[in-house]
Chain A
Amino acid sequence: MNELAANRKIPIIKIKDFLIVSIQVDMHDRLAIELQAQILEELSRTGAKGVLIDISVLEMVDSFIGRMLSGMASMASIMDAAVVIVGMQPAVAITLVELGLEMPGVDTALNMENGIAMLEKRLESQSELYKPNGA
């Protein structure tokens, strides 16, 4: 059910098959890297198939944080998990585009509901592949 990862500076919550991370603070670089490591650790520990990272409170995503997020998506996919960034603010999106920072391999959703739907759909289509006789 719900697992609250204790002793984490940024809480990572598990709901169903997914991890939910809500970034509420302006992170310095080291904290961002630590978060990346924590998330991967939790993925490994729980076997979760997806991570939803809520950045709706973040007023700024610079090149370092941006690269941390895309890095996380790549690393998570190696562990057979998908990362969805949720709740990006319009000003942040515009600035990222102007910075020239594309985030390849990073899925995004407008809100948590859409994000979860996206991950569930992905899981569903993945499991379809393994259904015997294509039923």
Chain B
Amino acid sequence: MTAAYAVKDLKLRVEKIEDVLAAVAAGDKDVRVNSETEDDFSGVEFAIDLLIDDLMDELDQKEKTQKEMEKKLATIQQQQQTIRQQQDDLLELSSPVTKVWDNILILPVIGTLDSRRAQIMMENLLDKIVQTGCTYAILDITGVPTIDTQVANHLLKTVTAARLLGGECIISGISPAIAQTIVHLGIDLSSINTKATMQEAMKTAFLSNNHKSSELNHDEEESPREMK
């Protein structure tokens, strides 16, 4: 008697389990068999519900971990950005631009000159030229042994941009190795104003400066600009 009863509902109950599992596969997290019967088969129904519970727990756990990782990734990216900014700030501090005389700026560069540093130097120098109104800027790279093509391009860019602004950028202290790099790049050296030493560059700038100012004062009573 009991066996026949069990079999009659069994088909329905098996179908219910199939439906529940299909719903779970489709994404329904809350569906369960929830059998209200208590017999030999209900053990299976109960086990299936427990299985689904475990599965859902695992999925939740995975989602949580995923979210945490995304958060961590965002934090790391932000930190990278901060580090980049700090590096730039350091680079800026390490290449101070000094004003000498009336109208002449000097930027001595020491150590490795990489693309990023060259970029920062360029912006720094051009900003200073505009801020101070100094027409001459001397970029001294005596302390730089070699440069790559990217940096050479940045230097050329600095000179060209300075000219566009209405100033003049002289590069001094070019080592033979660097001279080779520049020439190999096909850069026309005559397009850059270069001097062997910083002293010569300063002399050139100073002379051009005084030449200019003495011409201006040509017709005036004032004495030529005094040397500071």
The interface of chain A, by Cβ under 8 A from chain B, is: 85-86, 88-90, 93-94, 96-98, 103, 107-111, 113-115, 117, 120-121, 124
Contact = CB atoms under 8 A, between A and B. Distances in A.
Which of B162, B164, B167, B212 lies at the interface centre, i.e. has the most chain A CB atoms within 10 A of its CB? B164
Interface residues of B, number: 22
A103 B165 CA distance: 12
B224 interface: no
A76 B3 CA distance: 110
Contacts of A109: 166
B130 A110 contact: yes
Interface of B: 122-123, 126-127, 129-130, 133-135, 157, 160-167, 212, 215-216, 218
A97 B164 contact: yes
B166 A108 contact: yes
Given A103-B164, A121-B215, 4 more contacts: A86-B166, A88-B165, A110-B133, A124-B215
Contact of B164 (A108, A111, A115, A121): A108
A120 B217 CA distance: 12
B149 to A, nearest CB: 16
A108 B215 contact: no
Contacts of B157: 94, 97-98
19 contacts: A89-B130, A90-B123, A90-B127, A90-B161, A94-B126, A96-B161, A97-B164, A98-B157, A103-B164, A109-B166, A110-B129, A110-B133, A110-B135, A110-B167, A113-B133, A114-B133, A115-B166, A121-B215, A124-B215
